[in-house]
Amino acid sequence: MFVSILAGTVVASSLPVIVADLHGSQTAYTWVVTATLLATTVSTPIWASSPTWATASCCCRSR
């Protein structure tokens, strides 16, 4: 959930630059937001079901 919110914030803050690079109009804003939501929707179940992300102990293991 946190990654999804973070990704949305990054895209929202960089949206004017993205649209300017695409030489787009208001329609380009819609396409960029739609593509971001679609990518997040597709990728969230993939990384959320990964066993390495399921527990914090794998990332915070003391040596």
How is the chain split into domains, by residue range? Answer: 12-36
Residue-level pLDDT at 37:
83
Model pLDDT, residue 58: 53
The pTM score is: 0.54
Q: Is 4 a residue whose pLDDT tops 80?
A: no
Per-residue pLDDT tens for 15-58? 888 788 878 888 877 887 888 888 888 887 777 776 665 555 55
Q: What pLDDT is stored for residue 52 in this prediction?
A: 63
The DSSP code sequence of 7-40 is HHHHHHHHHHHHHHHTT--HHHHHHHHHHHHHHH
The widest CA-to-CA distance across the chain, in whole angstroms, is 53
